[in-house]
């Protein structure tokens, strides 16, 4: 079973995004530029935040959040403020579900390749091979993986695949002569890259997820009549 848990990673990232927003929201202001039914333009300034400002624009079936956080466009219901309005029986931040409503091609990407996670998967696969094949030592595997021949680089998915190809060539070259058929098996190291979750939600996307329900609350406090 994999020791890598993307769900736990997401929980940690989401918690960090909430904490960051809480530390940067003090002194924030909202200006209602336009408020005509579901046609709205809300402008926000954050004097303590490194990203400074953002604006929320809605029209029928769409909401766009843009500014220092990037640009994110969502589509699901006629009035998208309803979609992000915090409710007593729903999660305040739901990045996975909300990502499903992103209008692709109209803003930033919610996920990004995670080089650290890719390396963790590789090390896990190498450790499994070391355990399964007695003629391979952990030190040998480490030396092969990070040899000059492999030129290990996990910066992108293409770099990951190139590194793994070079690693397999290094293993073939260093296989001792006169070994058993098992020692010459081509499947000593198995890298099921297609089964690996190599992407994480971007920090900017998760911070935007923290901003959206707060922004709706600010609008409701000013515009929605009480009672």
- Residue 48, pLDDT score: 96
Q: Is the confidence at residue 174, as pLDDT, over 70?
A: no
pLDDT digits (tens, 9 = 90+) for 128-173: 888 887 777 888 888 888 888 788 999 999 999 999 988 888 777 6
Average pLDDT over every residue of 184-194? 75
Instruction: Identify the residue with better confidence: 114 or 104.
Output: 114
Q: Given this model, what pLDDT does residue 1 score? A: 43
Concatenated DSSP letters for the chain?
A: --S--HHHHHHHHHHHHHHHHHHH-TT-EEEEEEEETTEEEEEEE-TTSTT-EEEEEEETTEEEEEETTEEEEE-SSSSHHHHHS--TTS-S--HHHHHTTB-TTSS--SEEE-HHHHHHHHHHHHHHHHHH-TT--HHHHHHHHTSTTTT---SSHHHHHHHHHHHHHHHHHHSPTT--GGGG-TTSS---GGGS--EEE-HHHHHHHHHHHHHHHHHHHHHSPP-
């Amino acid at each position: 079973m994999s020791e890598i848990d993307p769900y736990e990673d997401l929980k940690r990232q989401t918690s960090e995004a909430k904490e960051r927003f809480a530390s940067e929201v003090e002194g924030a202001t909202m200006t209602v530029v336009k408020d005509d039914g579901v046609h709205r333009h809300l402008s926000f300034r954050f004097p303590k935040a490194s990203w400074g400002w953002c604006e929320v624009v809605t029209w029928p079936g769409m909401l766009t959040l843009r500014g220092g956080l990037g640009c994110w466009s969502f589509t699901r219901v006629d009035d998208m403020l309803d979609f992000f309005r915090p409710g007593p029986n729903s999660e305040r931040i739901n990045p996975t579900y909300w990502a499903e409503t992103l209008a692709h091609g109209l803003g930033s990407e919610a996920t990004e390749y995670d080089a650290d996670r890719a390396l963790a998967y590789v090390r896990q696969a190498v450790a499994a091979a070391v355990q399964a094949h007695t003629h391979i030592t952990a030190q040998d595997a480490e030396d092969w993986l990070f040899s000059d021949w492999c030129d290990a680089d996990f910066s992108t998915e293409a770099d990951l695949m190139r590194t793994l190809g070079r690693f397999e060539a290094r293993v073939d070259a260093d296989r001792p002569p006169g070994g058993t058929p098992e020692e010459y098996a081509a499947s000593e190291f198995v890298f099921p890259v297609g089964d690996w979750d190599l992407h994480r939600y971007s920090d900017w996307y998760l911070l935007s997820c923290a901003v959206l329900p707060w922004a709706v609350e600010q609008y409701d406090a000013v515009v929605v009549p009480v009672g």
